[in-house]
Amino acid sequence: MISIQSDQTQCFDDTGRQIFCDGTGQDGEHHSQKEWPVPRFVESQETVMDRLTGRIWPKDSGISQFPLTWQEAFDFVDEMNAEKMGGLTRWRLPERGELFSLISHARVNPALVAPGCFSNHFNGYYWTATPCARYPRQAWTIHLGGGRVVKGMRHSSYMVWPVHDAHDDRPVASESGISDPDEVRFHASSQTVSDRATGLTWLRDADTLGNPVSWTDALSHIQQMNSEKLLGFQDWRLPNIRELESLTDIRLHSPAIAARDRFKSIRPFYWSSTTSVYEPRYAWTLYSEDGNIGVGFKPGAEFHVWPVRTTQD
């Protein structure tokens, strides 16, 4: 299974004030459902291995020293391989999901899950190897300062942080980070869709309320679903931002949702249960048309609700 755990442990109301997590339904209350390996990161002289994903990263997260265009980023990685940086020869530009796996939702500047394992952080945008499906002259970037995932013009200049698989004979990762085809990965019933890659079950109707709501109303709606035992369950929740992101298929657009034919009423904007610690009056959101990960102002009724629960064996 892919990792869908956030590292957020705190909870905040819609004014940005920190509150106790019990009973809130927020990411900070549910964060411990999936455990990371301990230790997750193993350091060597020049590199750091992530035992969760099986990826190796340069310890120097500013290894390119300067921002580069997308093509220059690939050229830079070729030079690393020619020089056998860290004794390795299959460095590559990370796919979007790979770089996103390092993003923290509990820290900012840098928004890294283990900032102490790395050096020379640049709190700006970094290239991924993943092109944008709808706009061919753009590719995906991730902001290491705050965690946003947005598109950038390929002629623009951003930082480069290459990745290497733990074993040279390991196949290069797919763009989504998940290799199973939709017909293997997803199982649809009359009212739900189960994802074998994440262990999550989603409502098949991706717009249960029929209209956008505020973040507080979104959380309240989930509580009401549980009090009414929707489909016989009381463990529905508003998905955290990693769970929402796991539904994206960035080879697609309009919407960029995996197995989109299995779902009904997919909307352009969705709330997550994860607060932006950069500005706690905002929560993380998924823009499903292309797969952007941004934020929404919690009091604003601009985003939809897509409930999820953990699949029980």
Burial of 159 (0-12, 13-18, 19+ CB in 10 A): buried
Q: Is the pLDDT of residue 265 over 50?
A: yes
Residues whose CB falls within 8 Å of the CB of residue 119, separated by 6 or more in sequence, listed in order: 59, 60, 61, 62
Q: Is the Cα dihedral 308, 100, 287, 179 positive or negative?
A: negative
The mean predicted confidence, pLDDT, of the chain is 93
Q: What is the pLDDT of residues 98-107, one digit of tens each?
A: 999 999 999 9
85, 90, 94, 99: CA torsion to nearest 10? -60
Q: How far apart are CA 270 and CA 241, in angstroms?
A: 10
The token pair that represents 185 in the structure block: 């990965």
- Please tell me the predicted confidence (pLDDT) of residue 173: 40
Q: How far apart are CA 116 and CA 278, in angstroms?
A: 19
Of 98, 80, 97, the closest CA to residue 89 belongs to: 80
End-to-end CA distance of the chain: 14
Beta bridge partners of 309: 201
Q: What is the pLDDT of residues 182-218, one digit of tens each?
A: 889 999 999 999 999 999 999 999 999 999 999 999 9
Angle at 268 between CA 307 and CA 237, to 5 degrees: 10
- Please tell me the predicted confidence (pLDDT) of residue 171: 42
- Please tell me the predicted confidence (pLDDT) of residue 86: 94
Q: How far apart are CA 238 and CA 157, in angstroms?
A: 36
The share of the chain scoring above pLDDT 90, in percent, equals: 89
Residues 69 and 154: beta-carbon distance below 8 Å? yes
Q: What is the pLDDT of residues 146-183, one digit of tens each?
A: 999 999 999 999 999 999 998 654 444 444 445 578 88
